[in-house]
Amino acid sequence: MDVVAGVVVVLLFFGLIAVGTSVRVLREYERGVIFRLGRLIAQKGPGLILLIPMVDRMVKVDLRTVTLNIPPQEVITRDNVPASVNAVAYFRVMDPRKAIVEVENYLLATSQISQTALRSVLGKAEFDQLLSERERLNEELQGIIDESTEPWGVKVTAVEIKDVEIPEQMQRAIARQAEAERERRAKIINSEGEFQAAQKLTDAADIISTNPASLQLRYLQTLLEIGSNQNTTVVFPLPMDMLEPFLGRSDHKTGGSKAKPPTPPVPPVAPAPELPDDLPPSRS
C-alpha cells in the first residue's frame, strides 16, 4: 500500500506540473503566439489557453500603445547648425504573428529605425524650420518610421520632437536676431502711426478750411482746454486777420511801416531871363 500511495503522489505531482505548464491565462490586452515543435500554429487569447506540455510553446505579445523615448541625437542641419534633438514615438503591435516571426526584437528594431529617421529628416531641414515647422517634421518622421515597421506588424501612431538644444554661441546669435527683428517691427509700427496721424491732421485741416466757423469753434475749444489748467500766465493766439484793422490805423497815426509817405513839396520854377532889345542880330 505504501508503494502504491507513493506512486499516486508522484503521479499527482507530475500531473500538477503538467497542468501548470499547459494552462495559460491571457489578459484582454495580451495575445499568445503558439509554436508546436517550432512551427507557428495559431494566435490565441485573451482568456484561458491550453497547451500540450513539452510540445507547445507560447510567446505573449502586449497590444497596448508603447511609449518609446528616442535618445538625443547629434544632428547638423542643412544650414550647418549643430543641434542635439530628442523625440518620443508612440506605436502598438497590430499583428502579433509578424511582430514575433518577422523581427527578432520589435522594440529594439523600432527604436533603432526611429533614431536613424530622426537624424536623416532633421539633417535635410534648416534650423528655422526645425523651430517653426515641427508639425510637418513630425508627420514626415511618422511616415518614414511607420513605413519601415509595417512589415513587422507594428503601427506608429505619432512621433513628437521634444527638445532642441544648440550651442551657447548660437543661442546668443538667435537672441540678437530676435531683438533686431523686434526693433524693426517697432520702427515700422511707429512710422505707420505717424503717417496715419499726419493723414488725419491733413483731412481735419481740409475740413476746417472749408468752414471758418469750424476754425473759431476749434479756437474756443483750445482756450477752454488752456483755461482748465492751473496756470498763472495764458497766451492767447490771435489770427493776424483780426489784428490787421488795428495795425493799419496805428500805422497811419504814428507813421509806421504801413503809413503812406508824405508828398514832397514841388520846388518853384525860376522865370526865364529877359533879353535886351538892342542886341545885334546873330549871324548864321
Domain boundaries, the chain: 14-61, 66-166, 170-211
Torsional class of 79: left (φ above 0), alpha (ψ -120 to 50), beta (otherwise): alpha
Phi, psi at residue 79, to the nearest 5°?
A: -95, 25
Are 61 and 100 in contact, with CB atoms under 8 Å apart?
A: yes
Mean pLDDT of 200-226: 74
Report pLDDT for 250: 52
pLDDT (tens digit per residue) in 4-46: 777 777 777 767 776 777 888 899 999 999 999 889 998 988 8
Determine the distance from the C-alpha atom of residue 270 to the mean position of all C-alpha atoms in its chain, rounded to a whole number.
102
Alpha-carbon Rg for the chain in angstroms:
53
Local confidence band at 1 (pLDDT 50, 70, 90 cut-offs): low
DSSP string across 18-62: HHHHHEEEE-TTEEEEEEETTEEEEEE-SEEEE--TTTEEEEEEE
The CB density around residue 24, as the number of other CB atoms within 10 Å, is 19
Closest by alpha carbon to 86, among 177, 161, 29, 2? 161
Pick among 3.30.479.30, 1.10.3720.10, 3.90.950.20, 3.20.20.70: CATH of 66-166: 3.30.479.30
